[in-house]
A and B are shown apart, each in its own frame.
Chain A
C-alpha cells in the first residue's frame, strides 16, 4: 500500500481520539469510585481533569476540520473523519456527566452514607463496560460488537428504574435521607445518560464500518 499524506493525519487523529476516549473512561470510573469509596480527593481530581478533556475536544475538532479542508477525504477516510468529529463531543459530554457525578460525590461524602447504594455499583459497572467496549469497537471497527453494546443500554435503563423506585421508597420511609437520595437520583440519571451516549458512539461505529445510519431506525 502506498504512503499517502493523509495517512499520517488520520493516524494522528486516531491517536488523539483514543486518548480522549481513555481519559473519558477514567473520568467515569473515578467519579463512581469517588462516590462509592467516599473519596472526595478523587472527585476533585475528576473535576480538575475535565479541563484537559475539554481541551482535547477542541484539538480534535481543529484537526478534523483541517483534514476535511486540506485533504478532501473520500470513502472510508471520509467516514472516519466524520465519525471522529461526531464521537468527540459525545465523549466530552460523557466526561461532563462524570464531573457532575463527582460534584454530587463531594456533597454526598459530607452527608451520612445511605446504607447501600442499591443498584448503583451494577449500573456503574455496566456503563463503564459499555464505554470500554464501544471504544474498543471503534478501534477495531467492529460493527457486531457495537450492536451488542447498543443492546446493553436496556440493562442500564432497567437499573435506572430500579434505582429510581428504590430511592423514592427511601425518601418516603425516612425523610432525613431526602437530600442524599435526591443527589443520588441525579447520579442515576447521569449514568443513564452515559448509556445513551455510548449507544450513540456505537451507532457511529456502525456508520464507520458499514456506511449505514442505524440511528432512529426501528430495532430488528
Chain B
C-alpha cells in the first residue's frame, strides 16, 4: 500500500506548551485512517498539521516533516492555498456559508477558477452533490438557502463543498458528533464510499465509528502516538495495554 502522507518526527508547540511529541506515521493512499484518544490528546491538533490549518494560530510552532506525495508541506515556499485545495477539511460543526446550496458548492470552484463554462460549473456542482449523497435531496431547491437544510444535510453539503475543488485527501474532525444516528450512518457510509477515490483521515470520539469506517486506527494520549495499527487488530487485540484500557473504557 503506497503512502499518501508520511509524517516524520513531528513536534508541535502552542507557545511553550508542547502538544505533539515526535509523531511518525504513514497514511496509505485511498484508505480511511481514524485518530482516537481522550480529549486534549492532540488528535485534532495533529489532523490540522496535515493541511497547515494551525498556521492561523500565531504562537504555533512545528518541527519535523509532513510529506504529501513526497513533498514536505512545511518546506519554505509551499503554496498553502494549493495545499488546502489538495487536502480538504470537514469540521465538527457544519459551517455552510449563508448562501444558496448551489453557491456553497460552487464557491471553491469559482474562487479557484476551476470551471471553464457555466455548464461545466453546473456539472461540477452536481457531481460533488452526488458524491456526497445529497443530490437527490436537494436537486429541486439548489437556489434556496443552505441554512434551511437539516444538520446532517448541512454536513454533507460541507463534504460536497470540500469535494468540489477535487481534493486528494479529506480531513474530517468529528464530522458526525453533532448528528443523530441516521445522519451519522449516512456520513459513515459516505466515508466508506469516498475512500475509493480519496485518502481520508477522520478524528472521532466514537470508538465504534472508528471501528466501522476505518482501515487503520491511531491512538493518541497526551500528545503521543501510543499505537497505530490495522483497525481490526486494534479492536480485537491491541499491542499496547494503554490502547486496550482506552478502547475498553478502563479510563476516560
Residues of A within 8 A of B (CB): 1-2, 4, 6, 72-79, 211
Chain B residues numbered 187-214 whose CB sits less than 8 Å from any CB in chain A: 207-208, 211
What are the residues of chain B within 8 A of A6 when measuring CB–CB?
248-249
CB distance from A75 to the nearest CB of B (A): 5
Bound-state CA distance A74–B237 (Å) is 8
Asked if A4 and B248 make an inter-chain contact with CB atoms under 8 angstroms apart, the answer reads yes
Interchain nearest-CB distance for A96 vs B (Å): 31
The reply on B244 being an interface residue by CB < 8 A is yes
- Which residues of chain B have C-beta atoms less than 8 A from A4's C-beta? 248-250
Taking a contact as CB atoms under 8 Å apart, the answer to whether B248 and A74 are in contact is yes
Q: Are A75 and B249 in contact (CB under 8 A)?
A: no
Give the residues from 206 to 226 in chain B that come closer than 8 angstroms, CB to CB, to chain A: 207-208, 211
Whether B236 pairs with A75 at a CB distance below 8 angstroms is yes
Max chain A Cβ within 10 angstroms of own Cβ: one of B211, B237, B252: B237
Residues of A within 8 Å of B237, CB to CB, are 75, 79, 211
Q: Indicate which residue in A2, A72, A211 contacts B250 across the interface (CB closer than 8 Å).
A: A2
Q: A211 contacts which chain B residues (CB < 8 A)? A: 236-237
How many angstroms from the CA of A71 to the CA of B237 in the assembled complex? 17
Whether the Cβ atoms of B251 and A75 lie closer than 8 Å is no
Query: How many angstroms between the C-alpha atoms of A1 and B236 in the bound complex?
Result: 20
B33 to A: closest C-beta gap in Å: 18
4 smallest beta-carbon distances between A and B, as pairs = A211-B237, A74-B247, A75-B244, A74-B235
Contact string against A for B residues 33-76, beta-carbon threshold 8 Å, 1 for contact and 0 otherwise: 00000000000000000000000000000000000000000000
Chain B residues with Cβ under 8 A from A74's Cβ? 207, 211, 235-236, 247-248
Task: Take A211-B236, A211-B237 as given contacts and tell me if A76 and B250 are in contact as well, using a CB distance cutoff of 8 Å.
Answer: no
Q: Is B108 an interface residue (CB 8 A)?
A: no
Chain A, Cβ-Cβ closest to B208:
A72
Once A211-B236, A211-B237 are accepted as A-B contacts, the answer to whether A75 and B208 lie under 8 Å apart by CB is no
Q: How far is it, in angstroms, between the C-alpha of A180 and the C-alpha of B235 when the chains are bound? A: 54
B242 CB to nearest A CB, Å: 12
Query: A1-B250, A75-B238, A75-B243 known; 13 other A-B pairs, CB under 8 Å?
Result: A2-B249, A4-B249, A4-B250, A6-B249, A72-B208, A74-B211, A74-B235, A74-B247, A75-B248, A76-B248, A78-B236, A79-B237, A211-B236
Query: Cβ of B248: which chain A residues have Cβ within 8 Å of it?
Result: 4, 6, 73-77
